[in-house]
Structure 1
Amino acid sequence: MDSFPETLEQDDLLLRPPTEADLSDIARQLGDPRIAPWLATVAQPVDTQQARALLIHGQHPGEEVRLIQRGGSVVGALCIGASLWYWLDPEHWRHGIMQRALTMAIHARFARPAPPLVATCHEDNTPSRALLGQLGFAPYPVGRRMFFHGTQRAEPCRDYLLAPEQWHLLHPPEISAGQATLRPARQSDAATLARMLPRAGTAPWPVAETLPVFIETHRFRGPREALFVIEDDTRRTIGMALITHGGCALCFLSDRDEQRHRAWVDAALAEDSRQSSP
């Protein structure tokens, strides 16, 4: 999997790696009695040495620890790697901050092919369980017990799974191309796309009868290698783009649509390919 971005920023939120200067804020938040009971690996009382362990953990391959900064202040943290875990300063609860931060982080993780993401949540942590559900995580059918250092006993928990396919279904990407937009094709597009297929057997396009299979085979799964539908500014389907390792094939509903939008689509796909390259 390609490297995770060093920083992520959206409006007033910044996700960045922790530093030595952040240890006091980290220790204070981890020691807050409103946070500590929900973090299995945190023993109490918390000191700067335990906070430093977070920095060390973030240096392990595949373990991406990011502090959540808002208005110049550290308000929480997350780690996205073999599993997902996070916390937020109680003074900033109920403002949607964690949902925004996790959305940024998960989007960055699944921007390239990546394995499913697992989060483990205490059965009594109702707000966190609701948050995972809003993000698209599905609960495992059976719970389990996990040892919590804060209570020194095994606590009832449940694992939650988010597959990249589910994430992309909930958050389909869009590519802007002048007055047109490209989005991943869906099975509901089959009837419309069949109307613009070229002569049967013209590579790389299928015959109409196999179009549903073609759409599924080329479903968007992370990288920009998929079948995209092209829509104009009225949301009318005007074409399709098949993006593969070998390049891009375009097909339009009419010559007029192609003349109006082809150059914009070509330019947008070329720019998207540059941005998506590692």
Structure 2
Amino acid sequence: MTRILGGLALLCAACAVVVGNLPLFLLPPKAPALYPAVAALVFACAWAAVAGVRQRGVSRFDLTHPDGGKARTPLLNAFLRLCITLLIVLGPSAALGQAIGPDGAHGRHIADVREAGGGDHELRIDGVVGKPRDTGVTINDHVQYAATVTVTVPFTSGPRVVTVEGVHTLGAPVPGETVHLLYAPDRPDLGVLENPYGFFDTLFPMIFIWGFFAFPALFVPFVMSADFLRRARVFHPLVHLPAFAILAAGGALSLPLALGYPVSGVDLALAIPAMVTPWLAAVWAAVALNRV
């Protein structure tokens, strides 16, 4: 039973990390992205409860050096390495992507557009209203500008010329240039918004993000010896419960954006600590396992 519950917990945790890294829930509502994480926490708590009951009266030596099951050890170790590597390496990027905005009234507006069947669209700029503002941000040696532009939006009821404020471009915007905008084709009353992610609301750029966070994966297998994995499979309250608590705290930091639209600016304050919780849990588990 403990092997099944533990395997389900790790499998759900790995699914949560994969889902959190996909460009599916970058914009609200974000609650579905947390479902696998909640399932992982439930299975982990069940594993800890069942293991704790079974370990009563059994010496720690016998628990840490179990007999039998040797034929399954290589497969179990491979499964553990894969899941732990995903948690350590891609967990931070998943936590960052799900804990960060948009929030506030802007986030609610975006959610309304999404729920009405809206999505990201590339539209050409018809004209620029006023003078573009230099945002002071430079990306790949290109200065970012914010401007008010007019675009022709092909709504279902017919094309309309719409003025959109705060559209960001690399370099001063010019007519004919394409921009990423959010709108619902069937709901022109919801207006047109700049997509806060634009190009990053697709799969291709996520590959570069995965590559950045996945680089440490090359070194993780070297620190996870067979002895370490064997001891990690045995429940120890001083090792696993604090690690679970740290991971649960990281998931809790995503709740404000999953359940509502907090005051603007809260997302970044939540995203940074959420990002480091998988690493903190891994460090705690590694140090605590060596001590016990």
Q: Normalising by structure 2, report the TM-score.
A: 0.23
Higher helix share: 2
Higher strand share: 1
Q: Normalising by structure 1, report the TM-score.
A: 0.23
